[in-house]
Amino acid sequence: MTTTSRTDLWENLTAFSNPIPSDVAGAMQALGVDVLKEVSAGDSTEYLARCPAHADRKASFSVNSVTGLHHCFACGYGGPFIQLVEDALGYARVEAFQWIARRGVFRLFDDEPPAASAEPEERVTEAALALFEPPPAAALESRGLTATACAAYGVLWKPESKHWILPIRDPDTGELWGWQEKGKRFFRNWPAGVFKSRTLFGDLTWRGKAALLLESPLDAVRAHALGIEGAFASFGAHVSEAQMRLLKTRCTTLVLGLDNDPAGLTSRDRLYARWRPRGLPMRFLDYSGTAAKDLGDMSEEAARSAYACAHYPWRRR
Ligand SMILES: [Zn+2]
């Protein structure tokens, strides 16, 4: 039995943000995430399980034994191991750290754990964005975006592959952590394991009355282009505690505009149940009368109306 003094704990917390338990599979089990399959890759093992963040019939979710990074291929939920502990147990960062410490810490990584993939390590610097350009007019038009909205959200374009580049930044300092690269049938986060669940896509200096939360970064840009202010994206159906805290300090009411699909609607209801009692009024984007999956799928008029008619949950039925 080890004891950690409060000072040590805080020092560890500031120095290391991704403590990994000695027995990753055992810790998953203890969090209610049963390992269904193990796949060895080099020196590490991927533990496959049903995703805890959405109604997952397959084992879409995996946790790496060495990096502790987890990721769901279906809904995009993912992050460092400590995030999984926070989300599964409803813990704050300190409690989650203690929970892992009690199980025996195998290894501590700082904010840049080695990439789980074989890709070479690369430091992310602002200069890396110089490879990209402002999105061309035809691409903007195909998505109902404007050059002004893209500039406001820092959206760029990779001309050789025709992919969108969506920067992921530190919510406090604005420092570049990486980006999401998105094409027609292409999607990746760079670097692998970038901690997107600790930040939001959007103007993090914004403060105002109503914020709008969407899943996809490009939908947030679309909302901005439509004149809706305070639009943020969570990078997926799963919205972390850290992301909700960022929203709560920036607005007085939140419009939940997660996708109109089972993962998005389940997440929306869960967020309402969890955060309404914590004093954050929330309304739901109005998807009635539309089969659109998200704001990006809607006509300009339908998108405006879905936002204007955002409703409190009890008006639904
Ligand atoms: Zn998932």
Does the residue 58 lie in any domain? yes
Of 91, 109, 127, which one is at a domain's C-terminal end?
Answer: 109
Q: Are residues 201 and 311 in the same domain?
A: yes
Q: Are residues 302 and 207 in the same domain?
A: yes
Q: Are residues 305 and 175 in the same domain?
A: yes
Q: Are residues 175 and 295 in the same domain?
A: yes
Q: Are residues 279 and 198 in the same domain?
A: yes
Mean pLDDT score of the chain: 86
pLDDT at position 108 is 59
Does the residue 68 lie in any domain? yes
Q: Are residues 197 and 98 in the same domain?
A: no
Structural domain containing residue 300:
171-179+191-315
Q: How confident is the model at residue 298 (pLDDT cuts 50, 70, 90)?
A: very high
Q: How confident is the model at residue 106 (pLDDT cuts 50, 70, 90)?
A: low
180-191: average pLDDT: 86
Cα–ligand 1 centroid distance for 57 (angstroms): 10
Cα–ligand 1 centroid distance for 152 (angstroms): 30
Cα–ligand 1 centroid distance for 237 (angstroms): 8
Cα–ligand 1 centroid distance for 8 (angstroms): 34
What CA–CA distance (Å, rounded) separates 135 from 146? 9
Does the residue 95 lie in any domain? yes
Cα–ligand 1 centroid distance for 262 (angstroms): 11
Cα–ligand 1 centroid distance for 6 (angstroms): 34
Question: How many domains are contained in the chain?
Answer: 2
Q: Are residues 201 and 289 in the same domain?
A: yes
Does the residue 84 lie in any domain? yes
Spacing of C-alpha 302 from chain mean position: 26
Q: At residue 147, does pLDDT exceed 50?
A: yes
Does the residue 241 lie in any domain? yes
161-183: average pLDDT: 93
Q: How confident is the model at residue 102 (pLDDT cuts 50, 70, 90)?
A: confident
pLDDT at position 241 is 86
Cα–ligand 1 centroid distance for 261 (angstroms): 13
Closest by alpha carbon to 228, among 309, 140, 172?
A: 309
Cα–ligand 1 centroid distance for 10 (angstroms): 31
Q: Are residues 228 and 101 in the same domain?
A: no
Q: Are residues 198 and 292 in the same domain?
A: yes
272-293: average pLDDT: 92
Of 92, 109, 126, which one is at a domain's C-terminal end?
Answer: 109
Does the residue 288 lie in any domain? yes
Two tokens, residue 93: 């960062």
> Which CATH number covers residue 306?
3.40.1360.10
Phi, psi of 65 (to 5 degrees): -70, -25
* Weakest-pLDDT range from 54-58, 104-108, 125-129: 104-108
> Which CATH number covers residue 52?
3.90.580.10
Cα–ligand 1 centroid distance for 228 (angstroms): 28
Q: Are residues 311 and 205 in the same domain?
A: yes
Q: What percent of the chain has pLDDT over 70?
A: 88
Cα–ligand 1 centroid distance for 280 (angstroms): 25
Cα–ligand 1 centroid distance for 265 (angstroms): 13
Does the residue 59 lie in any domain? yes
Does the residue 76 lie in any domain? yes
Q: Are residues 96 and 175 in the same domain?
A: no
Q: How confident is the model at residue 95 (pLDDT cuts 50, 70, 90)?
A: confident
Of 109, 126, 147, which one is at a domain's C-terminal end?
Answer: 109
pTM of the model: 0.67
Cα–ligand 1 centroid distance for 209 (angstroms): 31
Q: Are residues 97 and 198 in the same domain?
A: no
